[in-house]
Structures are given as C-alpha cells and as structure tokens.
C-alpha cells in the first residue's frame, strides 16, 4: 500500500508514527507499506522551523508537549512511550542531537536549562519533532519504506480505480490513500485588507498583512518611527518581542521584582490596539502535574442533559454551568488567599450542594472587589467612557500588573488565574459538546463561534505571564502605547491613521501598519493551492449549517465526523482521502493545540484512528476526533 501524507508538522509525523505502530503490531504485514511525506519546510513544518528568530516561544508549558502516546489515549495501537519535550530537551541525547544538527548555542543552552514549566523556543519544538521522526525511522519495520519531499503540493485528483494522484510544482505521485495533515495556512486578503494594501502601495507605505509572526519580515521597519499594530493577542506579543528584544533591548529586574526595559535605540515606537482594547489575560504559571486537570462538577453530561430543551442545551445555560465551575475554583482559592478564618472545604461542599450556589457566595460575605464578576472579567473597563490615551496607559498598567501578579501565584493558587485555567482544562468537555451538536445551530453559529470563541481566546489563550510583565515595562518606558477600546484604522492624507474615536480625540499616524493576527482557517478564502484545487474541483466543500431557515457557511472543510474522510461537494465521502487538524476549525474546537501527555489527547487519538482506517484495521470507539 502506498500512503501519501501532506504536511510534515506534528500531525503528519503523528500519523506516520501510528502507521508504523498499527502496521507492526496489528496488521498481518502481508503487503509492504510505502509512506511519502510532503512539506516545503521539511519535517517539523512551517510554524516550528529553524530559520526563525529564536526568541519566539511556545504558548504551552514544556511538560504539556509530547508526540508520544501513553496509557490514557483511546486507541488500538500499542503505546509508544517516550519523553515529553522538557524531558528530552535537558537530556544528553538532545544536546548531542542539537549540536550535530547545527543548532545555535542559544538554543542548545535554552534546551539544557528548560524547566518543566518553562515555555520552550519554537525552534526547539521543531528540533524535538525532527528528533522524534529520526527515532521513528530507526524503528521502521523492514516492510515499510518512508521518504520525504520538501515540496508544496498544488493539486490532487481522484482516479477511476480509486487511487489518488497528487501534484507538486514539477512532479506527480500516485497513492492508494492520502492524508492531509495541514497546519496554519495563508488566506487571500479580504476587501478591507486589499484596500489597505493598495493604499500602502499607492502611498509608499508598509502594510504587513495577517500571517504567522515567524514569517513576517520586520527588517524594513526603521528605528524611532511610530508604527501601528492592530491586534493585542498572541501575535502582538510575538511582534513586540521581535521589535524590542529582537533588536537588542534588554529587560532588567527592579528591586521590587518588576521589570524595566533598557532600549537599544533600534526600536520603533509601537501604537497598538484592538476592538476590545485590552491585551489577552496572561497564562498562570503552571503548577499542575502529569495529566492533571480540573474536572467538571457543573458542566457534566448529566447536568447538561437535564438542562437541555428538545435535545439542545441553551447557550446561556452552557455559560452558566461553565461559570459555576470557574466560580467553584475561584472562591475556593480566594478563601485560601484572603479569608483564613473561612473553610474552603466547607465552601465547596455547600456551593456544590446548593440549589442556588450564589446564595452560598452571598452568605460567605466576600468583599465586592473579591467577587467573581463575569461581565467585569470580560470587559474590565466597561465603565470607562471618555479617557485620553495618556490616562488610559495608567489604567491598563494597573490592570495588567494586577492580573500578572495573580498569574504569577500559579495555576492552582492564584484565584483568577486558576479560574481561567478551567477553560483550558475543559477543552475536552467543550470539544465533546461541539462534536455532539449539543447547541442549536443558531446558538452555535451566533453565540459560540462569534462570541464564546473570542471570549475564550481573550481569557485563556494568552501568552505566558512573563510576556505581560515585559509588556508592562514597555508601556512604562514609552516604547508601547495601548489605545483605548474601539481602535479604528484608515488611510488618510498619505498615512495610516489610527484612533479610538468613541473614547477620545487622540490620533496617531504612521507609515507602517502591521496586522497582528494569524489567518483564520477558511476554505472559502484560503490561499493554499491544494485546498483551492480541492474546492474548485468539487472534492472539498465547507461545512454548511442551517439556522432559522438560513444557510450559514463555516470556513471548516467538511468531513465524515466519524472517520475524517473528505466530503465532496455532492456530499459523498472519499474513502481514500482524509483531512484533519487546523482546516477543520469550526467543525471541531481548538484544533491548533499541541498534543498533551496524560489527558487522552484528541490529536493522539485521531492519528491512531486514521492510521487504523487506512490499513483497514479496527479502530477505537467513543473517540474525540481532532
């Protein structure tokens, strides 16, 4: 059997691993197996490649990153155990591997000193993927042959005999089965972005469209000039790090433990903002052990079933149940932190047993500033109306320092940080909620995708607390200015101009506008040539949902939810074509997360299931596909 795998990032390598595993231990090995991987960036893929600035770090602690399976994973393959990223990084084997493969002294030193709770350089994770692949090849069964082509796949066609032909820029290959393990892709610019790009060209300005920060060329941004960055999420943190630390600036510790910034003189001045006007909440320092997660007490199948109406869980009820689980964590730790005369254990018992848990909160007499205020957490400055940009810096600094101090207490100690951590721990039940279609299509489209995803990103997908401390120092140094909520950008008088007109009359202009966000996975606007080709030829379609007698088109590639086989425009499952991961975002939930050990990770599940399906072997049931 000949299998083609398009994409050699983590998912493509996981499928390769599980094909080896299933073939070796579960098949009769009567037919040789040939595996060919395609990726223009080679093993590791685009996001984790070695030729990017080594100051870009991951967004997950190093002990929560693995490519190996474990006993928690629902699968039929044999467990392939091995070191998580942090265990490998500090080993002598990693040192020898990094040295032999020409990694910089900075990366070798970072690996040697990587603690389990640290955030590894992205380059180091790429090295871990390459090492994992090399180890796989050493264990390759005799009847298996594996090759990799550093080429871009541009087209795919289905042959009359059921085989699949894929086309690179200069060669064609034919396979019995093909798996598309695609990661982040570029999109064509929308009308607004095209207008800004054209305005930049016409006026000799710089417009950096949405892309992965590791791909952006920032070398043309001059020192000392104002630049505008739109977006305050993860990409924003990457860009300001590249434009400060990456240009020779240094952070120094003050006697009070805070950071100050010593500029190199090569930095621009950064004017940044967004619709919300607030950077993402920082991630709490991880205190959790192997596989440790908070388990739902309120957002359970039993309670969701009981609250469902005509088989559907109302969105507001979903949020209410989720908030109760977050409050349970929050108030228990708040008692430990600030109310030593009260019992957190007794509070938990009463809160869980109460018909109305809020009456328990009231009875405990928490101070107003210690109450869990969901609306305030989502919009800390909802009461701040007219305010100058200068005064807004003081407000944002105060908020940033407070949430960072809480995050630094730890993910099992800081009340707020631990409560927000629940959103990460509950990814599995939320993924199940999406997979089972618990919400009505209307609630899923208009509330979950449009509201919850944005709120969840703001609350739980933020950068490590260290980045928030650094941002505080950069604001205090005057290198970064954060605009009040409601940022707007336009081209005016030969410049890019930005303001928050609903909050103040301050305006800033610049010759550079940088969009700090990665392109959203969307089949309808993708610039990936393979996905374009599939859509144009009817071999792929976006998922369409009906809501209020209206069709709503998700950006996700449509698949058979049980097998991840591609669904054609006509709705037929292509038996020999599989696609999974990021292109399914919207159909699935948080597909970009890296595999985590000890938690029955869905990426590890899915790789095993697809491998079994390809080889015609039994696969695990009751799985949560990724």
Range(s) for CATH 3.50.50.60 in the chain?
2-54+69-78+131-186+521-614
Tokens, residue 253: 């510790």
The CATH H-level superfamily of 2-54+69-78+131-186+521-614 is FAD/NAD(P)-binding domain (3.50.50.60)
Q: What are φ and ψ of residue 548, in 5° steps?
A: 55, 45
Tokens, residue 463: 């950068």
Asked whether 394 and 565 are in contact (CB, 8 A), the reply is no
Provide the angle, in degrees to the nearest 10, between the axes of the packed helices 415-425 and 427-435: 40
Radius of gyration (Cα) for the chain, nearest Å?
25
Triad 6, 605, 177: Cα angle to 5°: 35
Triad 36, 538, 563: Cα angle to 5°: 55
Tokens, residue 115: 């603690």
Tokens, residue 278: 């607030």
* DSSP 8-state assignment for residue 608: H
Residues of the chain scoring pLDDT < 50: none
Tokens, residue 142: 């005799």
CATH label, 191-280+464-515, candidates 3.90.1690, 3.10.180, 3.50.50, 3.40.50? 3.50.50
**How many Cβ atoms sit within 10 Å of the Cβ of residue 437?**
14
Query: In 461-514, where does DSSP find H-type helix?
Result: 465-477
Q: Which residue has tokens 């399976």?
A: 69
* DSSP 8-state assignment for residue 311: T
- What CA–CA distances, in Å, run from 361 to 299, 333, 373, 403, 459? 19, 13, 12, 22, 23
What pLDDT does 548 receive?
Answer: 82
- As a whole number of angstroms, the distance between CA 400 and CA 282 comes to 9
Burial class (CB in 10 A: 0-12, 13-18, 19+), 462: buried
- As a whole number of angstroms, the distance between CA 357 and CA 25 comes to 51
**How many Cβ atoms sit within 10 Å of the Cβ of residue 144?**
19
Q: Which residue has tokens 């618990």?
A: 438
Burial class (CB in 10 A: 0-12, 13-18, 19+), 404: buried
Sequence-distant (6+) residues with CB within 8 A of 86 are 61, 62, 63, 65, 114, 115, 116, 118, 120
* DSSP 8-state assignment for residue 121: B
* DSSP 8-state assignment for residue 299: S
User: Whole-prediction pTM value?
Assistant: 0.96
């Amino acid at each position: 059997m000949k299998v083609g795998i398009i994409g050699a990032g983590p998912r493509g390598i996981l499928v390769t691993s599980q094909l080896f595993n299933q073939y070796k231990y579960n098949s009769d090995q009567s037919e040789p197996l040939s595996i060919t991987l395609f990726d223009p960036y080679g093993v590791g893929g685009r996001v984790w490649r070695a030729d990017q600035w080594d100051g870009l770090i991951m967004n997950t602690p190093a002990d929560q990153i693995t490519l190996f399976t474990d006993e928690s994973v629902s699968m039929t393959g044999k467990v392939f155990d091995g070191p998580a990223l942090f265990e490998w990084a500090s080993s002598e084997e990693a040192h020898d591997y990094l040295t032999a493969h020409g990694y910089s002294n900075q990366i070798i030193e970072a690996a040697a000193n990587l603690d389990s709770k640290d955030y590894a350089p992205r380059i180091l994770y790429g090295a871990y993927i390459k090492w994992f692949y090399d180890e796989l090849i050493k264990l390759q069964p005799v009847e298996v042959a594996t090759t990799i082509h550093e080429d871009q796949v541009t087209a795919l066609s289905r042959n009359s005999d059921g085989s699949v032909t894929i086309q690179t820029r200069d060669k064609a290959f034919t396979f019995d089965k093909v798996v598309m393990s695609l990661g982040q892709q570029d999109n064509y610019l929308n009308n607004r972005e095209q207008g800004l790009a054209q305005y930049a060209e016409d006026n000799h300005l710089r417009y950096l469209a949405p892309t992965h920060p590791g791909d952006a060329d920032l070398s043309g941004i001059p020192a000392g000039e104002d630049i505008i960055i739109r977006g305050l999420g993860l990409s924003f943190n990457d860009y300001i790090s590249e434009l400060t630390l990456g240009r020779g600036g240094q952070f120094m510790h003050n006697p009070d433990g805070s950071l100050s910034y010593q500029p190199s003189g090569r930095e621009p001045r950064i004017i940044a903002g967004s619709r919300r006007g607030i950077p993402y909440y920082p991630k709490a320092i991880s205190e959790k052990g192997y596989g440790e997660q908070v388990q739902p007490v309120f957002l359970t199948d039993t309670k969701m079933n009981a609250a469902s109406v005509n088989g559907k869980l109302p969105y507001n009820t979903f949020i209410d149940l989720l908030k109760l689980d977050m409050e349970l964590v929050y108030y228990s730790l708040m008692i430990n932190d600030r109310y030593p005369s009260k019992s957190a254990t007794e509070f938990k018992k009463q809160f869980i047993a109460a018909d109305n848990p809020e009456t328990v909160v009231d009875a405990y007499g928490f101070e107003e500033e210690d109450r869990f205020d969901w609306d305030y957490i989502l919009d800390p400055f909802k009461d701040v109306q007219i305010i100058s940009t200068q005064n807004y810096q003081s407000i944002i600094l105060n908020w940033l320092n407070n949430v960072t101090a809480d995050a630094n207490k730890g993910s099992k100690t800081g009340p707020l940080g631990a409560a927000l951590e629940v959103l990460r721990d509950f990814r599995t039940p939320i993924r199940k909620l999406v997979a089972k279609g618990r919400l009505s299509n209307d609630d899923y489209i208009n509330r979950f995708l449009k509201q919850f995803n944005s709120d969840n990103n703001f609350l739980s997908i933020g950068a490590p607390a260290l980045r928030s401390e650094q941002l505080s120092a950069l604001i205090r140094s005057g290198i970064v200015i954060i605009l009040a909520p409601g940022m707007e950008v336009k081209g005016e008088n030969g410049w890019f101009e930005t303001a928050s007109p609903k909050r103040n009359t301050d305006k800033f202009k610049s010759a550079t506008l940088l969009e700090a966000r990665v392109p959203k996975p969307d089949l309808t606007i993708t610039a990936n040539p393979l996905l374009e080709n599939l859509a144009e030829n009817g071999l792929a379609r976006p998922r369409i949902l009906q809501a209020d007698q209206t069709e709503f088109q998700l950006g996700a590639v449509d698949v058979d939810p049980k097998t991840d086989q591609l669904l054609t425009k006509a709705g037929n499952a292509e038996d020999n074509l599989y696609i999974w991961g990021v292109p399914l975002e919207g159909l699935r939930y948080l597909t970009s997360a890296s595999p985590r050990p000890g938690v029955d990770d869905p990426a590890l599940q899915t790789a095993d299931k697809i491998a079994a399906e390809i080889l015609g072997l039994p696969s695990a049931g009751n799985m949560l596909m990724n």
